[in-house]
Amino acid sequence: MGDFNTESWKTIAARKKAEQIAKLPKEWLITPPAEDVLNVMRHSCGLLSVKELEITGVRDTVVLLEKLAKGEWSAVEVTSAFYKRAIIAHQVTNCLTEIFIDKALAWAASLDKKFKETGKPVGPLHGLPISLKDQICIEGMDTVMGYVSWINKPAKHNAVLVDVLLAAGAVPFVRTNVPQTLMFPETFNVVFGRTTNPYNRSLTPGGSSGGEGALIALGGSVLGVGSDIGGSVRIPAGMCGIYGLRPSYNRIPYQGAMNSSLGQECISSVLGPLSASLSGLRVFTQAVLDGEPWLYDPVCVRKPWDESEYKLKKHGHGEKMCFGIMWDDGVVKPHPPVHRALKMAKAALLAAGHTVIDWVPPVSHSVLRAPAMEIFYADGGENFYDDCAPTGEPLLKSMAPDAPPAEQLDMPFGAKPMNKGGTVPEPLKPLSAYELWKVQWKLRDLRKQYLDGWMATKEKTGTGRPIDGLVTPVAPYAAPPLGKYTYSYYTSFCNTLDYPASTFPVTFVDPALDAPQPPHTFRYPEDEIAYNLYTSPDVYKDAPVNLQLVGQKLEDEAVIGMTEVVVTALQAHKGSS
């Protein structure tokens, strides 16, 4: 049971991993596809029954909930089917952490019992299996979150969100993999290992909620919960071709979940849904808010689900809206497939009767990013070191599988070199509290400038309103090769500003349409690094391409509503073109 004084971190981590493997039911083990089979999306293991394929074939959360609410399928049936498929997904992408089949089935059975007694569903999420990122504590269970020193420390309480979901009738059923520190847009840690992208296992599934992305894309879950402080919901959703939502600060209860950089409250991490269907984002958000989380989380915003905002009352009721399109953030130029996706969105929106205008950030994103990085690493990364120190686990500097050992695995026990490696950008020094306040104050001013710039578009939209929403890339690329995802400010600017944002699938990389372009004048080193990642579309074979829709602070409902408008327009336009 992990004695940190005498055992090496490798021993402790290996035992935890072995315990996980032991929890995979023998009868659910598959013959894994060969390592060089990159796309496992259509891999057939032959293990799922017709009924299980029927159940897990339902990708739309609302449809699944209807079947459950009518009693057509029981909670145990649905949970069992998704559990089996999740375990299969795990065997091809390594997406899971905690496995607790008995506990999940007991919850499901209790729901079925109540349903039998009352004839009605327990709540709006009755019987729905929900996967949870490896931060969201369940009583009695480890929350490893990628740190060896967190092994064998079972949670004393459920996270508030877990209680709210249980009360709504949901069945938390697996926990999913993350990167050490949570501050990487990829998914690797020394306990549970690396998660890969099911569309192409040489590519990253994104991160930090990468386990969720891979699991949901593979049909092992229709709805999961991740966290997002710089894109950690939207990046894996985007890389894995599913839907995701970064809600505004403190809308979804974080209380009782674990996190990095605890007490950093200026740019807050938020919890948010990833889903196989757009309906999942709405259903989750509404159900959680209907659970009045502010009664249990002391910083939650008391703002019930607002149906009129979802129906876009403040946005012309969804008619003749005007969207901004950010073709390029001015720092890193998007790759051809991403540019094509933006053109598809523009054409679809115009065809649906909306207008679009080009969005040039009112504050340069390189300027906006600077204080955000200073705030993220104001402790000089010390909290990361503190969580590595008890076992001597190395603080990872890179997510690359081929990173030199010094960058991955060989920091001596107890060494605590401030600002050396890990996710901490080298030039950032630990700040004093007063210095931190000054950076936070500077950021406030930039937030004001950005807001004013958004509001000033009123003169250009022709709707009498500022732009209703902003359509942007999720990343400058489709899922890049493992270890190569380095620029996340296409998502992160929303966290800096606290703008809610969704991501939704648009297309796939297509070598015929997405030829590499000649080099442009590189604005920043990151720009050149990203350019050089697209020498051949073949590297990105089968990779999905998502886009992002951004709204104003606390317009979570409207962002969901506008995403429906954009997705509907894309589907209609695809059909017609």
Q: Catalytic residues, which ones?
A: 133, 208, 232
Binding segment for a copy of itself (CB under 8 A), chosen from 179-187, 225-233, 447-455, 505-513, is 447-455
- Token readout for 296 is 């249990």
439 near a copy of itself, judged by CB under 8 A: yes
Minimum CB separation of residue 176 from a copy of itself in Å reads 25
How many CB atoms neighbour CB 126 within 10 A? 22
* 230 assigned ligand-binding residue: yes
Q: Is 433 in the site for a copy of itself (CB under 8 A)?
A: yes
Instruction: Return the residue of 25, 116, 435, 513 that touches a copy of itself, per CB under 8 A.
Output: 435
Q: In angstroms, what is the minimal distance from the CB of 387 to a copy of itself? A: 13
* d(C-alpha 371, C-alpha 437), whole Å: 11
Q: Is 163 in the site for a copy of itself (CB under 8 A)?
A: no
Per the annotation, does 229 bind a ligand? yes
Of the candidates 16, 422, 72, 39, the one whose C-alpha atom is nearest the C-alpha of residue 217 is: 39
Segment 556 to 575, residues that bind a copy of itself, using CB under 8 A: none
**What is the distance between the alpha carbons of residues 285 and 557, in angstroms, rounded to a whole number?**
8
Q: Does residue 17 touch a copy of itself according to CB under 8 A?
A: no
Q: Do 274 and 223 meet the contact criterion of CB atoms below 8 Å apart?
A: yes
Q: Is 447 in the site for a copy of itself (CB under 8 A)?
A: yes
Q: Of 301, 350, 357, 367, which one interacts with a copy of itself (CB under 8 A)?
A: 301
Q: Which of 5, 412, 426, 434 binds a copy of itself (CB under 8 A)?
A: 434
C-alpha–C-alpha distance, residues 191 and 147, integer Å = 7
Q: In the complex with a copy of itself, which residue's Cβ is closer, 434 or 538?
A: 434
Q: Looking at beta carbons only, is 90 or 315 nearer to a copy of itself?
A: 315
Which residues, listed in sequence order, are joined to residue 121 by a DSSP beta bridge?
none
* Residue of the chain from 297, 328, 468, 564 that contacts a copy of itself (CB under 8 A): 297
CA distance 363 to 446: 7
CB closer to a copy of itself, 409 vs 451: 451
DSSP character at residue 357: E
> How many CB atoms are closer than 10 A to CB 538?
8
For 320, what's the count of Cα atoms within 13 Å in the CB-facing half-sphere?
6
Choice from 74, 264, 391, 492 touching a copy of itself (CB under 8 A) = 264
Residue 143 carries which DSSP code? -
Identify the sign of the CA torsion 125, 257, 549, 198. negative
Mind giving me the DSSP string for 495-555?
HHHT--EEEEEEEE--TTT---------SSHHHHHHHTT-S-GGGGTT-EEEEEEE--TT-
Asked whether residue 231 is marked as a ligand-binding residue, the answer is yes
- Min dist CB 509 to a copy of itself, Å, is 36
Which one of the spans 1-9, 144-152, 164-172, 256-264 is the region binding a copy of itself (CB under 8 A)? 256-264
Nearest distance from C-beta of residue 62 to a copy of itself, angstroms: 27
| Three-class DSSP labels, 462-484 | CCCCCCCEEEEECCCCCCCECCC
Residues 161, 54: Cα–Cα separation, whole Å: 29
Choosing from 554, 562, 566, 569, the residue that interacts with a copy of itself (CB under 8 A) is: 554
Residue 441 in contact with a copy of itself, rule: CB under 8 A: yes
553 makes contact with a copy of itself (CB under 8 A)? yes
Rank residues 113 and 444 by Cβ distance to a copy of itself and give the closer one. Answer: 444
The interface with a copy of itself within residues 363-422 (CB under 8 A) comprises 378-380, 382-383
Choose among 358, 352, 283: nearest CA to 316.
352
422 is in an annotated binding site: no
Beta carbon nearer to a copy of itself, 418 or 513:
418
Spatial contact of 227 and 259, defined as CB atoms under 8 Å apart? yes
Rounded CA separation 174/220 (Å): 10
Verify binding: residue 295, a copy of itself, rule CB under 8 A.
yes
DSSP string, 295-362: GT-TT-------HHHHTTGGGGGGSS-EEEE-S--SSSPPPHHHHHHHHHHHHHHHHTT-EEEE---S
Is residue 575 within a helix (H) or strand (E), and if so which, with residue range? Answer: helix 556-576
> Min. distance of Cβ 447 from a copy of itself in angstroms?
4
Could you say which of 23, 113, 116, 302 contacts a copy of itself (CB under 8 A)?
A: 302
Q: Are 449 and 493 in contact (CB under 8 A)?
A: no
Rounded (10°) angle between helices 160-167 and 278-290? 100
Task: Tell whether residue 310 is a contact of a copy of itself (CB under 8 A).
Answer: no
Q: 220 among the known binding-site residues?
A: no
Q: What angle do CA 332, 337, 343 make, to 5 degrees?
A: 95
Q: Tell me how many residues contact a copy of itself (CB under 8 A).
A: 47
Site string for a copy of itself, 449-488 (x = CB under 8 A): -xxx--x---------------------------------
- Toward a copy of itself, which CB reaches closer, 288 or 399? 288
CA 99 to chain centre: 20
Q: Does 440 bind a copy of itself (CB under 8 A)?
A: yes
Is 324 annotated as contributing to ligand binding?
A: no
Q: Give the residue numbers of the binding site.
A: 182, 208, 229-232
Q: Give the residue numbers of the binding site for substrate.
A: 182, 208, 229-232
Chain residues that interact with a copy of itself, rule: CB under 8 A = 255, 261-266, 294-299, 301-303, 378-380, 382-383, 430-442, 444, 447-448, 450-452, 455, 497-498, 552-555
